[in-house]
Every structure is written in C-alpha cells, then in structure tokens.
Structure 1
Amino acid sequence: MYKDTTVPLKNVTLYSSGVAYYEHEGEASGASRIGLSFTPEQINDVLKSLIVSDSAAKNISVAYQSEDALRKILESLSVNLSEVSDLADILYAQRGAELEVVTGEKAAEKIVGKILTVDRREREAGGDTLSLFASDGVHIVPFKEIRSFRFTDPKRGEDLNTALSVLLRSSSASKKNLSVLIDAEGKRSVRLAYVMESPVWKPTYRIDAGSGTAEFQAWAIVDNSTDIDWNAVRLTLTTGRPVGFKQNLYPPYFTYRPTLPLMAGAAAAAETYDSAYGEADEAYNEASSPRMMMSMNKVSAEAKMSSSYDYGDSIRDTVNRNVAASDASAEMFTFTPVKPVTIGRQESVMIPIAAVKLPAEKFSVFSNMHLRENTHPKFCVRIENTSGMKFPAGPVSVSSEGAYAGDAVLEFLPAGDTRIIGYGDDMEVNGSLTKKSSSSIDTVKIAGGLLRTTKKRVYDSTYTVKNSAAKSRKVLIEHPITGNAALVATKALLEKTPALYRFTLSVDKNATGTLAVSESEIVETTAALIKMTANDFIAYSSDADMPKAVRKAFEDIAAKKAKLDEAKSDYEKLSADYKRIGDEQRRARENLEATGSSTAQGKQFLDKLMRLESELDSIKTKTEGARANLDKAEKDFSDYLKTVKAG
C-alpha cells in the first residue's frame, strides 16, 4: 500500500530560452506515492524530462491517465455518463434495463419494470415521461412524479457509482494528475526534477549617471506561472540558448499497419489451356497466379507504409542532432539571489540582481555625421563593467543628476567590457563634416614588361562641432574606418572597434571645436606595357611626378612604339588597297559576263580586268612584305619591352 507523500519544491532554474528546471526535495517513509498536477500543455515536457532519485527504491513507476481517459473510462461502464446532459438522457441510454421507481407525493408507490423509452414533452404538456414495461403492463410515469429510482441490477448500480467517482476526480478538466510510485523501505531523502515551459525571466536596469561613476542597478522580473506556491525556493536565473523542443508524448500513439487480404481458400476458377510456346509463357502464368498477385499486394502495402509512415529515421536523426547541438549549454551565465525567494502561484515579482557603482563618463556622441549636413549628437553614458558579473540584454532607465533622462537598451555586457548607452538627443550641439582626398606617386618600377606603381592616398576628414549650451560638452565622434587605410595621428583616439574609430573632443560653452582625422594607404597597381597605347607612353614620359629615369624609359618606348605603329599603318594601307582592287576586279568580271567579250564594251572590261589582275599581283606581294615587316616589328617591340628596366 502506497502512502501519500508530499515532496516540496526547493529549487527553480529559469532559462531565457523559455523553459524552467524544477527540483523537489523531501523525505519519504516506506512505499510512497508522490502526487503531482499539471496542465495538458505541461505534461509532455514533464514526461520528456522527469528524473526520480531514491537510493532505497526497489522499483519506481509513474502512473497517469492518458489523453481522453475520462471519456474512455465512462464509455467502458454499463452506465455511460460521458455524453448526457440530464436524467432523461441517462434513462433513455439504459433502455431495456430493469428499474425500480418510487412515485407518489403522499402514499409511495413502487413500480418495477424495464425501461421502454423516454418521451420528451413541453412543460405545458406535462413534461418528460418514462415508460416502464412491468408485469402488469406498460406504466407511463411523468418525471415530475418520480421521487427516487434504482437499477435492480447491482452491476449497473456499481457502474453508476464508479462513473460519478470518475467525474468527481476529473472535475478539473484543465489538470492532469501524475503519480510517482516508489517501492522502498525506511526513511530516506527523495528528489524529483523535471523541465517545463515557462515565461522567460526579464532583466531591466537603472543607471544614474553622475560625475565619474554611475549607480547601476540590475533587476529581474520573474513569473510563477505554475499552480505551486514557491515557498523559500532557491531561484537561479540563467541566460543562454540550450537546445529545446516539444514532443507529443502524452496521447497514445498507434502506428500504421497495412490491411492484407485473407489467406482463406477460395473456389477454383475456371481455366482454359492453350498450346505451350516455351519458357516465356510459364513465367507469365507464374506472375499471374493468385499466390503471386497476393505477394505483390503485400509488397505494395509495405511500400505504401514505408513511403507514408516512415518516421523512424527522421525522429532518430532529429534526436541525434539535438544531442550533438546541446553542448552549447556550456556558454550559459547564471544569477542566484543570496536568499531563497517566495512567490505565490500565478504571481510575479521583481527581484534585485546587482546594485553597484561603475566607472562612467557622459558624452554627446556623433554616430552618423553626414557630409556637409548639420547633425545633432546623442546624450550617452559610457560605462565600464567592473562588477565581475555578466549582464544580459535588456531595457535601461537612465537618470542624470537625480532626474529621469531617457530610456535605452543595453546589449549583453560581459565582465570587464565597456558599453556606450544612448538615451536622448542633444539639441544644443550640432556638427558637420567635410572631406577631401589626395594621391601621390610613391614608387615606380619598370621590369619584365610590367609597370609597377605604388601610390599614397590620403583621406582627410574635418569634423566641426558647435556647442550652444551654457555648459561645456565632452563630445565623442565615431569615424568609420576607410578600407585598409591606417590612421595617421592617434592623439584624440579613445578606442577602436572593428568598423569605427572613436575620438574625443572637448568643446567649451557657446564655442566651436574641430577635429581633423587623417588616414592614408598605399595602393599598388600593375600594368602590362604591351597593352598600353602610344598616348599612354607619351603621358608617362611627360609626367613630372615620375622619376627622371622612368620618364626617359618611356620616351624610348614611345619611339619604338612609333616605329611599330608606322609598320602597322603601312600594312593596313596596303591591305586596304588590295581589298579595293579586288572589289574593282569583281565588278569588272561581272560586267564582262553581262556584256560578253566580243562586244566593244566587253573588250574594254576585259582590258581593265587584265590591268587590275596585274595591279593585284603587285599589291599582294607588297602586302605580304608589309605583313612580315609588321610581325618582325611587333616581336622586336615585345622583346624590347621585356628588357627595359627603370626605377
């Protein structure tokens, strides 16, 4: 016999991922039954995660009613109360059962008979009536005259009592009862633990920015969404992203099974017999036999089951992936209040996490200053986390000099790190930006037919800040890092992020201040000399920024290029003449074919054709010579470029 035992809740760990870890600890004596109650939404998580620890346990089991258990239990009883709304429904469902009915207001009358039917009538017509078939005939009994009744069959009476007891135990449809049954002897400690869905705990912060330091408070909003009072519970608040998922473990699950045809014998079918033609017909007859067709149906059913209900591998793979990914929980950060907390069921509290003084400095911060546009900075406070704690992201209420100044958002703040928190616009300060850039040749080198040039590019930005306030301002200017350029001067540099430089600037009241930021980078370019034009060579040879030796080399290259261009021009001119004479020859031949060679005009075309043929032969010889001369000039020029060295 199990003894009801209460194991109180001792520890709760809330995760920012939306779940909570609950631990119950207490003492048990002998065989124990530990009752727990959950909502239908919680029961799946509990079944997935429940841990029971009892060093003296001989056997442990967990009992609970499955989904829709109430309806199924009621339907299993001879008196089914699952879908009844009144007495008439109950009696109508028991038609044929024997009933003993007591009627009459003064002199009681007993009628024993089997229920024939129940007739529903309007109240004006006398109301509902019960028809009983008794030994002396059918009795029509109005419901309003029935004082009591009972089933003469004891089993039906017991089932009615059982149904009412089940309904009483399940009166709260929103609760599911779970019993942990432990077979053990003696007095000992028992521990239960499980994970359930829970509201995330929410951090909020307060900053009172003073001069040099800031009063920093961290609070946590905690919601007890359970139906258990948290009395002196050790609470742990955890940030991080452990792997979590839901699985529908509570309702019974029935797998798919195919329906196969019966293997029973059947009457022999009529057959006809044809002449044999060989093995092919034997194979056909075997494939068409009833046994083979039944086998094919079975294979088809199995294939359908595999394609439509193949859950095994997908679930296994999912669990394996979740287990492999769960190592991320090692990156969590925890906060535990010094004293246990007490929170009533369905109540919420706000508890302090930290109250410390942090190094702080107030700035007016320019983050996105646009070119030649007036921009207002943000009021910001820069804090350094020297508390030794890690603070998750959350909203911040900022005060300055004891008065509310604005709201802000704090991103995750590790121990030892700094954050700039903006909480309002500084309308008394504005700033503008101007930019310019310059480029100068650093080195030039010609070798191997290539021109290698390194240029120094300088990017100058000037920030102008006007302070119209009656107090001086500490201004922080965020300057985007320009490509691969390096900062020339770091005098006013406060810090650097992957994308920004942060500079400080102090501006007196009713005054204007400027900040000059200079960046430089060396840009290397390589160009093939063979791809340059004569104009390129002339431009380089006359560029005063080029070294003298390089300019001289380009002068020589330009001269060689001029000779190559001359050979190319000769070849192109002869090629054009050759094409022109060829076109004239084609037209003369067409005219000769049209007029005939025996006519006077035809003889003129014939003479012209002979003359053009002679000119064409002469031009062809010259063109071939020019092509050879051009090829030699191109090769000589290419070889020459490979030998040029300068710089």
Structure 2
Amino acid sequence: MRAPSLSLRALLFAPLLLLSACTTPLAHGPSKGLRLRHVVLYQNGLGYFERTGEMSSDKLALRFREREVDDVLKSVVVVEEGLGPNETPSTVSAHLPRSGRGASPEEATELELVFSPRPSRPVSIAYAVPTAAWKATYRIILPTKEQKDRRALLQAWALIDNVGDEDWNDVRVTLATGAPLSYSSDLRSPTMIERPELKGIYGPQSGAVGPVLAENVAARDTDADGVPDGEDVCPNERGTVQTDPAHAGCPSHVRITASEIYILQQLHFDRSSDTLKPTAQPLLDEVAKVLLENPWITLIEIEGHTSTDEPNATDLSTRRASAVRAALVKRGVPSVRLSLRSYAADRPLDANTTEPGRAKNRRVAFNITQHVRREENNAPTRTTSPITTEALARVPEGAGRIDASSGSYRYEIANPVTLAKKSSALITLINRPMNGDDVLLYRPDPAAPQSSTHPFRAAEIENKSDIGLQPGSVSIFSGGTFVGEGVITRLLPGERSTIPYAIDDSTRVSQARISLDEPVRIVALARGVLRVTDRQRLVTTYDVEPGHNVPNTLVLRHPRTFGYEPVVLPEGTEKTPDAYLIRVALTPHKPTKIAIEEARPVERQWLVLTADGERLALYLKGSALPEGTQKRMARIVELRRALGAASDELGRLREKRQEATDRAVELRENVKAIEKTPQADKLRKMLLERLESVTKTGDELAVKITQRSDDAAIARAELDDAVRDLVIEEDAKAAGGNP
C-alpha cells in the first residue's frame, strides 16, 4: 500500500518517503531521455546534479551509493516544466528500501520516484551530494626586462574529478567558489549527527618544507586589521583574522610575534595568591589555541612575576607560572613545550609605589624561546622552452561567464564537458593579462631558513579585474622557462599579491637594530617622586647588497613592533596591519641602506634627590609648565646639578685620600723594615720625607672632604626644601597625546 503523496503545483516538491522494501523490480538507472545535464561543483566538496528529459513510464529508478542517499533525500527537487496556470502537475512519491545495519557506505541502493499520472512534459530532477572538491591552480608568465608592457599573463586552471559511477557526456559544468553549509544527517535511523566536518581543499604539498604564502595588500580595509570590510564582523574596530567567521576581524586577546606572545588582557593574580581567576579561563583557552595552531613554536617560557609587597616572591612567582602551565597542559598543550621561570619582583610593568601599579605586576607573561628549524627548498633549475606571454595569451578561456555575488564566484564553463567515470580533467578558467612584474621580496619565513639573509624572487600581480582568485599553487615562468612555484592565498578584486617562488642567493640583506631612550617631558611631581615620559626609539637599518641580474625592485617587509608607532619611514612606504612594505629601487652590485625608526612613550618614576641633573634639565626643557612652576623646577634642576657636582667631587676626593692613606701605610712599613740597618740611613731619611708629604696631602684632602661634605649637605637640604611643597599635577590633555 502506498501512502498519499504531496501535490506538485509548479516547482519544488517534498517527496513522501516509504521506508519499506520495493515489491516491483527497479530499472538500473534513469530512462535514456532523463540524463545528466548540469553539474555544479563547490570547493567544499559538495556537488549539485541536475537531470532533465521526458519520462518513458510513470516510474523512475535512480541508483546511488549508500552514503549518498540521505543527502539526496534532504535535497532532491522535481520540476515539471511548461505547466500552464490552470494545469495540475503530477503527484510524486519516493520509495526506497530501508538501510540494513552494517551496510557498506559504498554499497549501491536505489531510490524510486513514482509519478501519477506519468508526466507528459519534460521533467527536471536535481539533488546535492558530497563529491570531490574542485581545485584551482595557476600559471604566471612574467614580463622580461626588455618588455615595455609591464604586464604578466595569468592563467587559472581548475582540476575537476568525476568520482561517480556514471560517465558525463556533454554535461554543462559550473564551478563555484562558495562553501554552502552542509551537514551529515541520517534520515532513516535514529543516529547522532557528526557533521559538520571541515577539511582543507588540498593535501600536503609534495616535496615542500612548508608553503611560503604570498604577501597580499588589501584594497579596502577601514580599520586596517587585515580583514576586508566585506568579511569583517567588526569593520570599525581593529581586530584579527579569526577561524570562526562569526568573529572575523574582531579584537583578539592574544597576539603572536616571532619572539613573544602578547596577552592584551593580562593574566593577573590577587595579592600573595597563585589561584587563577575566573576571568583567566577564556584567555587561557585562546593562548592554548594559539600554541596548538602554531606547532613551529617548540618551547614557551612562562614567566612568573610578583609585586614588591608580596612575601616569598621567588616561590610565589614560580607557583603562578606552574598554575598557568597546568591549565595549558589540561587544554592539550604538551608539557615539553612549556618551561617555567621566576622573576619575582625584578621586572615590574608599573611602579610598586601604588596599589594599581602593584596589581599590574602580579602577573604571568609568555616568551617564545625556541623555533622549529626546517630545511629549505632549492630554487628550480632553469631550462629553455618556448613558453612566452604572446604564445600563451592565445589560449582560450574555459569560463564563458563569471558571476560574482555574496563574496563568491561561479565559473560557467563555456563548452559542455565529457568526462568518463573515475577520471579527472584540467580546464582553463582564466587567461588574461594583469599588472605584474618580477621583484625581490625580503620577508624572512620559517619555511625557508635562508630567507633570513637572502630575499625571495617573487611574482607581484595586481588584481584590477572583477574576478576573485581562490587559494592554490602557482607555477611561475620567466624568460621562456619554469623558474619556481609559489602559493597564492585568496586574492580579491583590487588587491595586490607578492608570491615568492625562489631564493635569490646572489643578493644579501643584513639588518641591525638599536634602542635609544630620550627624555621628553615631566608628567607629575608629588612628595619628591617625579613621573616623567621618555621616548623609546627603535632604529632598524637594512643593508642590501644586490647581486647580478636582479629585478628592478626590492619589496622589503618590516614587521610592526608591538606598541610602537613609525617616526621615520622611507617615502612611498605602504602600511598593512602588521607590517610596513617598502619599495627599494635596485641596481646590480650597488649597495643601498634603508633606515626605519619607530618609537613609543614610556613612563618612569624617579626620586628627585637621586635623579641625574642633566637629564632633569632635558625633561624640563620639553615640558610646558606654568611660569611659577617652571622657575621652581629650574631652581630644583640647578640644586640637583650642584648636589651632583658636589657628590662627584666628594667621590674623587675620597678616592685620592684613600690612595694617600694606603701610600702612607706602605711607607711606614718600609721605614720600619730598615729601621735597624745602619747603611740604610739615607734611604730611611728619604722615606720619612715622602711619608711626611703624603701625610700632609691626606690631611689637606680631609679638610676638603669636610668642606665639600658641608656643601653637599647644604645643597641636599635646599633641594629637599625646594621639592617638599612642590606639586605638579598631570595634564590630562597633554597625557593623551603622543610625546
């Protein structure tokens, strides 16, 4: 007995499923007129299949693998074409045998569609099932130095697979870059859902130590966080790239550099406690995630810190670091990657003179102490071939139409595709010129150890078209031959990408960095404690020694230093969220130097009585104080200089007096040694004269020391009196600006 079916009006229907054994034999496959017409392949492994044709009977049997049936049941649609407004479509039921327990996922099963009455017009049947994802691969043919048209030729190819049991004969194929959500579900038995499962579109790169990704410059990124506005959930708030699309572009609590992990919301502890606060749990989750997603970091040092008012500081800071390590191990981080170090109160973040400052110092921090070492790929051997831009530009594009919507692209293949079952095909999607050139890229990468001293050869292309390029491998050709392979990340319209493909060992780049502190201004003064602002400068110099036959341009990537802002950058520098890109004109064998200066304000506290007078004068010079306060501070600087001069002179006088005292002791011992030797009278007389002179010098020095001690005491008293009642309050407006 068959259950009643839902009426089909014009388009979409929900089939009524009977989960019982079929009582009549089924045809193996669709009728000859209802054949495969259209296939849409997505890059996340889904395929949409559409069949059209006329029915030769009122029944249609479709054969699928057991693992495909549930996906067909939840997605199948039937369209009876050409119905008029007053015509009633056929009713449709779907019948299938119930799945047997233990059935193989590859076992064949059949779905029977029953039409009542048999349709007299063409019918379209469509469904979505998992299939092999299509992959993108690229070729870039770079222009030669002699070529006036500085444009590269970009070819995009698509590898498609027919993994089914049916040949594709003159099938219309569409390749889509989107990733429609899809979940594994069992509609025929009460089992738990295990989808979604996320897999990359590529397997391991054969023969590669690790992929060296392209350097992209985004065209539209309002908050400069590296996430395009079209994908940024927080477009006006600087954040980070997140694996979860729901948080893409939103701020993260953890940032990672080549040597440190920065926790933007610190792990703090209560006084004398090593217990992690509840607010630390999300931060620890994020730290663990960063470590697990970055296996190139082989050893992390967990630093324990305390404030000066906490007893047993060394033991307490060790226990704090141990608590954090235990929490990370619990989250899956191997303990061998975590070491402990106790700094007690030796490295304060803030002054220990106030409770807010001490609270900041009760913390745990992280340092990267070991990186993974990897082997480097050698640049490929060049061989002569007739590959030129002009020759390859004649290859026709396979994509007859390219549609872009909602951040994804659909490539409609121009000609029907014939592809035997269990086989693959490579189709040309794009073949067009783009702005591009051969450049050097200095960007040290862990996947290529030599890149720390030698720049990459790189293909730089600018996507000024309306076509988005998907991730894939890139084969680079130059001078009529293959010169290397790179990896392109997703490249949207308006973006520029610099794709490394080889190491240029004829060119050497060395860098040096120095740190300088400069006094800026006085922030506040109270009870003799002076708060000042310094400018901490980092000056990085790059020395470039170009080799032979180098490109005309070097793109130098200088990573931003956390907390610092640029002061001196070469003209034309491009800023990205995490680096500065500097373009340097090159001449073979002509060295060049690039200097980059960054700075940040640093606040410090000094006791005026012990501060350096000359440095105090520099702080005063950079401060905008009221006239009366300015004069009083000038007097304090004068007194501090006088006290410093007196203290310095006292030090020199005491040193000389000590020398005189030591010399007198030595002379007395010599005189005593020859006291009973008659023939040494002349020598004894000379030694006694010297002893008298040294003693006299010592007495004179003692008088000077007394006088200078009095001068220093008077200067100290005057300085103490001048400082005691002077208060300088912080100027909120000035404090908010950069020094």
TM-score (norm: length of structure 2): 0.48
1:199 corresponds, among 132, 147, 151, to 132
Distance, in Å, in 1 between the alignment partners of 2:45 and 2:551 is 47
Distance, in Å, in 1 between the alignment partners of 2:478 and 2:151 is 11
- Corresponding letter in the other structure for 1:353: L
- In structure 2, do the counterparts of structure 1 residues 513 and 190 end up closer, same or farther at CA, with 3 Å as the change threshold? same
Distance, in Å, in 1 between the alignment partners of 2:136 and 2:730 is 70
Q: State the Cα distance separating 1:375 from its structure 2 match.
A: 0.7
Partner in structure 2 of residue 495 of structure 1: 574
1:433 corresponds, among 498, 511, 516, to 511
- Corresponding letter in the other structure for 1:238: A
- In structure 2, do the counterparts of structure 1 residues 204 and 353 end up closer, same or farther at CA, with 3 Å as the change threshold? same
Matched, 1:64 2:96: yes
Q: Deviations over 1:303-362 (max 9, x none)?
A: xxxxxxxx8xx87x999xxxxx99999543322212222222222111111001111121
Distance, in Å, in 2 between the alignment partners of 1:39 and 1:428 is 57
- In structure 2, do the counterparts of structure 1 residues 412 and 645 end up closer, same or farther at CA, with 3 Å as the change threshold? closer
CA contact under 8 A between 1:553 and 1:644: conserved in structure 2? no
Partner in structure 1 of residue 482 of structure 2: 404
- In structure 2, do the counterparts of structure 1 residues 68 and 469 end up closer, same or farther at CA, with 3 Å as the change threshold? same
1:42 corresponds, among 56, 68, 71, to 68
Distance, in Å, in 2 between the alignment partners of 1:407 and 1:229 is 34
Secondary structure at the counterpart of residue 488 of structure 1? strand
Matched, 1:442 2:520: yes
Q: State the Cα distance separating 1:374 from its structure 2 match.
A: 7.3
Matched, 1:232 2:310: no
Partner in structure 2 of residue 620 of structure 1: none
1:359 corresponds, among 431, 435, 440, to 435
- In structure 2, do the counterparts of structure 1 residues 457 and 59 end up closer, same or farther at CA, with 3 Å as the change threshold? same
Once the two structures are superposed, the pairs formed by residues 371-410 of structure 1 within 5 Å of their partners are 375-410=453-488
TM-score (norm: length of structure 1): 0.54
Distance, in Å, in 2 between the alignment partners of 1:241 and 1:507 is 43
Partner in structure 2 of residue 587 of structure 1: none
Distance, in Å, in 1 between the alignment partners of 2:729 and 2:568 is 40
- Corresponding letter in the other structure for 2:49: Y
Partner in structure 1 of residue 41 of structure 2: 14
CA contact under 8 A between 1:366 and 1:476: conserved in structure 2? yes
- Corresponding letter in the other structure for 1:495: E
Q: State the Cα distance separating 1:240 from its structure 2 match.
A: 3.0
CA contact under 8 A between 2:569 and 2:595: conserved in structure 1? no
Matched, 1:535 2:610: yes
Q: State the Cα distance separating 1:210 from its structure 2 match.
A: 0.9
- In structure 2, do the counterparts of structure 1 residues 501 and 336 end up closer, same or farther at CA, with 3 Å as the change threshold? same
- In structure 2, do the counterparts of structure 1 residues 330 and 358 end up closer, same or farther at CA, with 3 Å as the change threshold? closer
Matched, 1:223 2:161: yes
- In structure 2, do the counterparts of structure 1 residues 499 and 326 end up closer, same or farther at CA, with 3 Å as the change threshold? closer
CA contact under 8 A between 2:151 and 2:433: conserved in structure 1? yes
1:176 corresponds, among 87, 104, 109, to 109
Q: State the Cα distance separating 1:63 from its structure 2 match.
A: 1.6
CA contact under 8 A between 1:478 and 1:503: conserved in structure 2? yes
Q: Deviations over 1:340-391 (max 9, x none)?
A: 2222222211111100111112111111299xx9711110011001232111
Larger helix share, 1 or 2: 1
CA contact under 8 A between 1:506 and 1:513: conserved in structure 2? no
- In structure 2, do the counterparts of structure 1 residues 494 and 243 end up closer, same or farther at CA, with 3 Å as the change threshold? same
- In structure 2, do the counterparts of structure 1 residues 318 and 200 end up closer, same or farther at CA, with 3 Å as the change threshold? closer
Distance, in Å, in 2 between the alignment partners of 1:525 and 1:188 is 82
Q: Deviations over 1:198-232 (max 9, x none)?
A: 01111111111114211110000111111222222
Distance, in Å, in 1 between the alignment partners of 2:497 and 2:727 is 58
Secondary structure at the counterpart of residue 47 of structure 1? helix
Which has the greater radius of gyration? 1
CA contact under 8 A between 1:492 and 1:505: conserved in structure 2? no
For structure 2, the residue ranges without an aligned partner over 5 or more in a row are: 1-23, 145-149, 197-243, 249-404, 622-630, 643-720, 735-739
- In structure 2, do the counterparts of structure 1 residues 519 and 341 end up closer, same or farther at CA, with 3 Å as the change threshold? same
CA contact under 8 A between 2:636 and 2:723: conserved in structure 1? no
- Corresponding letter in the other structure for 1:545: L
Percent same amino acid at aligned positions? Answer: 26
- In structure 2, do the counterparts of structure 1 residues 519 and 526 end up closer, same or farther at CA, with 3 Å as the change threshold? closer
Distance, in Å, in 2 between the alignment partners of 1:383 and 1:199 is 30
Partner in structure 2 of residue 341 of structure 1: 417
Matched, 1:512 2:591: yes
CA contact under 8 A between 2:39 and 2:50: conserved in structure 1? yes
CA contact under 8 A between 1:541 and 1:551: conserved in structure 2? no
Distance, in Å, in 2 between the alignment partners of 1:445 and 1:38 is 77
Partner in structure 2 of residue 414 of structure 1: 492
Secondary structure at the counterpart of residue 511 of structure 1? coil
Partner in structure 2 of residue 552 of structure 1: 635
Secondary structure at the counterpart of residue 336 of structure 1? strand
Once the two structures are superposed, the pairs formed by residues 120-131 of structure 1 within 5 Å of their partners are none
Q: Deviations over 1:156-197 (max 9, x none)?
A: xxxxxxxxxxxxxxxxx9421221111135622312111111
Secondary structure at the counterpart of residue 345 of structure 1? coil
Partner in structure 2 of residue 247 of structure 1: 185
- Corresponding letter in the other structure for 1:239: T
- Corresponding letter in the other structure for 1:351: I
CA contact under 8 A between 1:534 and 1:558: conserved in structure 2? no
Number of aligned residue pairs: give it.
398
- What is the RMSD computed on CA atoms of the aligned residues? 4.1
CA contact under 8 A between 2:444 and 2:452: conserved in structure 1? no
Distance, in Å, in 1 between the alignment partners of 2:506 and 2:161 is 43
Distance, in Å, in 2 between the alignment partners of 1:43 and 1:440 is 72
Partner in structure 2 of residue 23 of structure 1: 50
- Corresponding letter in the other structure for 1:386: K
For structure 1, the residue ranges without an aligned partner over 5 or more in a row are: 72-172, 254-310, 320-324, 560-635
- In structure 2, do the counterparts of structure 1 residues 176 and 534 end up closer, same or farther at CA, with 3 Å as the change threshold? same
- In structure 2, do the counterparts of structure 1 residues 374 and 395 end up closer, same or farther at CA, with 3 Å as the change threshold? closer
Distance, in Å, in 2 between the alignment partners of 1:420 and 1:542 is 47
- In structure 2, do the counterparts of structure 1 residues 206 and 60 end up closer, same or farther at CA, with 3 Å as the change threshold? same
Q: State the Cα distance separating 1:398 from its structure 2 match.
A: 0.7
